[in-house]
Amino acid sequence: MTRLTEIVHFSGKVQGVGFRMSTQRLARDSGVVGYAKNLADGRVEMVATAEAAAISRLIERLKGLYGDGIVSVERQPATDVEEFSGFAVRR
């Protein structure tokens, strides 16, 4: 199966609610590597490397956990990506 890297932006009430730490925990449980970080505009950016289905499951688990707090999710393929050995919370 093919691994890919996606950049995912979460909008809504996703800062100041433990979103990045939850993302890290769920990503590690799902075999997804990469990072999550807060953006100045109030969104959270996740860069995730895994099989497409694992990234989709992670996003669905986050939606289930944060419900209406997540207003939108924007996904795009990443180019020019670094190698990840785990999942980190970045500042």
As to burial, measured by CB atoms within 10 angstroms (0-12 exposed, 13-18 middle, 19+ buried), residue 16 is: exposed
Full-model pTM: 0.95
Domain assignment of residue 89, yes or no: no
Four-CA torsion 13, 15, 21, 22, nearest 10 degrees: 0
Q: Is 28 a catalytic residue?
A: no
Q: Is 90 a catalytic residue?
A: no
Domain assignment of residue 90, yes or no: no
Q: Tell me how many domains the chain contains.
A: 1
CATH number of the domain that residue 8 is part of = 3.30.70.100
Of the listed 38, 57, 61, 75, which one is catalytic?
Answer: 38
Domain assignment of residue 36, yes or no: yes
Residue type at 31? Answer: G
Report pLDDT digits (tens) over 17-65. 999 999 999 999 999 999 999 999 999 999 999 999 999 999 999 999 9
Domain assignment of residue 88, yes or no: no
Full domain range(s) for residue 48: 3-81
Domain assignment of residue 16, yes or no: yes
Is the per-residue pLDDT at 1 higher than 80? no
Domain assignment of residue 38, yes or no: yes
